[in-house]
Structure 1
Amino acid sequence: MGDRNRVTVGVLGSYGGRNVGDEAILTALLDRIRAGRPDVHFVVFSRNPEHSRGAHPDVEVVGWEGVCRERISEHLRRLSVLVLGGGGILYNTEARRYLRLVRTAMDDGVPVFTYALGAGPLTDEADCAWVRATLSDAAEVTVRDEESKLVLEEAGLTRPISVTADPALLLRPGDGGEALLRAEAVPAGLPLVGMSVREPGRAAEHLDEEGYHQLLANVGDFLVHRLDAHVVFVPMERDDIRHAHAVVSHMADADRCTVLRGAYRPQEVLDMVKQLDLAIGMRLHFLIFAALAGIPLLPLPYAGKVFDFAQQIGAPALRGVVRETAGLLLAEVDRLWDERPARAAHTAARTAVMQMRAAGTAERLLAYLDRTAPRPHDDSPEPTVASPAG
Structure 2
Amino acid sequence: MPDDAGRPLVIGYYGMDNAGDNSFCVVMNWALGQYWGATAPVFAAPPLVDLPADRTALDPRWYRSNGPAQRAGNLAQRASLLRRSSMVVYGGGSVFREMGPLSEKRLFSWHARMTGHPVAAVGVSVGPFVSLASQRRLVEVLRRIPYVAVRDRASAEALRAIGYPGSLAVAADLAGLLPEALGEDPRMPRVSRNQRPRLGVTLLGVDYEASDEDFLRREQALIGGIRMLAEKEPIDVTIFVFNTHPQHGDIDASRRLQSALADLCGVREVTEREGVARIWQEMKECDFGVHMRLHGAIFAYMAGVPFTLFPYQRKCDDFLDDIGQPGSFRLDLGKPEPRAVFEVLAGLLNAAELPSVTRQQFADRARLNFTAAPWHQPPAR
Equivalent pair of 1:10/1:45 in contact (CA under 8 Å): yes
* Equivalent AA in structure 2 for residue 86 of structure 1: G
**What does the per-residue CA deviation read over 1:31-84, in whole Å, with 9 as the maximum and x for residues that have no partner?**
0121235552212112xx2x2487332425246942486764443243222101
Alignment match, 1:271: 281
* Equivalent AA in structure 1 for residue 19 of structure 2: V
Gaps of 5+ in 2: 63-70, 185-192
Alignment match, 2:57: 61
* Structure-2 separation of matches of 1:78 and 1:12: 14
Alignment match, 2:296: 286
* Equivalent AA in structure 1 for residue 170 of structure 2: V
Equivalent pair of 2:8/2:38 in contact (CA under 8 Å): no
Alignment match, 2:267: 257
1:176-187 aligned at under 5 Å gives the runs none
Aligned length: 349
Check 1:321–1:355 CA distance in 2 against 1; reply closer, same or farther (3 A cut).
farther
Alignment match, 1:184: none
1:290-309 aligned at under 5 Å gives the runs 290-309=300-319
Check 1:68–1:312 CA distance in 2 against 1; reply closer, same or farther (3 A cut).
closer
Alignment match, 1:164: 171
2:331 to 304, 318, 321: 318
* Structure-2 separation of matches of 1:215 and 1:120: 28
Check 1:70–1:191 CA distance in 2 against 1; reply closer, same or farther (3 A cut).
closer
1:45-56 aligned at under 5 Å gives the runs 45-46=44-45, 49=46, 51-52=47-48, 55-56=51-52
Check 1:205–1:59 CA distance in 2 against 1; reply closer, same or farther (3 A cut).
farther
- Secondary structure of 2:93's match? strand
**Pairing 1:119–2:126 present:** yes
Larger radius of gyration: 1
- Secondary structure of 1:137's match? coil
* Structure-2 separation of matches of 1:274 and 1:67: 39
Alignment match, 2:255: 245
1:194 to 187, 191, 200: 200
Equivalent pair of 1:19/1:237 in contact (CA under 8 Å): yes
Identity level (%): 22
Alignment match, 1:385: none
**What does the per-residue CA deviation read over 1:306-344, in whole Å, with 9 as the maximum and x for residues that have no partner?**
111112223232241653x44333222222222x2x33x
* Structure-2 separation of matches of 1:213 and 1:68: 34
Alignment match, 1:90: 96
- Secondary structure of 2:41's match? strand
* Equivalent AA in structure 2 for residue 164 of structure 1: A
Equivalent pair of 1:190/1:230 in contact (CA under 8 Å): yes
Equivalent pair of 1:174/1:267 in contact (CA under 8 Å): no
Alignment match, 1:42: 41
Alignment match, 2:346: 334
Equivalent pair of 1:214/1:250 in contact (CA under 8 Å): no
Equivalent pair of 1:166/1:358 in contact (CA under 8 Å): yes
* Structure-2 separation of matches of 1:27 and 1:98: 23
Equivalent pair of 1:169/1:292 in contact (CA under 8 Å): yes
* Equivalent AA in structure 2 for residue 317 of structure 1: R
Alignment match, 1:10: 9
Check 1:203–1:38 CA distance in 2 against 1; reply closer, same or farther (3 A cut).
farther
Equivalent pair of 2:169/2:372 in contact (CA under 8 Å): no
* Equivalent AA in structure 2 for residue 14 of structure 1: Y
Q: Please state how far the C-alpha of 1:362 moved relative to its aligned partner.
A: 1.5
Check 1:333–1:282 CA distance in 2 against 1; reply closer, same or farther (3 A cut).
same
* Structure-2 separation of matches of 1:94 and 1:153: 23
* Structure-1 separation of matches of 2:213 and 2:124: 23
* Structure-2 separation of matches of 1:55 and 1:5: 22
Alignment match, 1:361: 369
Structure with greater contact order relative to length (CA < 8 Å, sep ≥ 6): 2
Alignment match, 2:67: none
Q: Please state how far the C-alpha of 1:94 moved relative to its aligned partner.
A: 6.4
- Secondary structure of 2:290's match? strand
Equivalent pair of 1:221/1:253 in contact (CA under 8 Å): no
**What does the per-residue CA deviation read over 1:19-39, in whole Å, with 9 as the maximum and x for residues that have no partner?**
111111111111012123555
* Structure-1 separation of matches of 2:101 and 2:90: 11
- Secondary structure of 2:274's match? coil
- Secondary structure of 2:164's match? coil
Check 1:103–1:203 CA distance in 2 against 1; reply closer, same or farther (3 A cut).
farther
* Structure-2 separation of matches of 1:157 and 1:15: 29
Alignment match, 2:30: 31
> Comparing 309-318 with 255-264, which one deviates more in the overlay?
255-264
**What does the per-residue CA deviation read over 1:123-182, in whole Å, with 9 as the maximum and x for residues that have no partner?**
31221112111110111111111233344556x35335432101111112579xxxxxxx
* Structure-2 separation of matches of 1:265 and 1:348: 30
- Secondary structure of 1:141's match? strand
* Structure-1 separation of matches of 2:240 and 2:74: 37
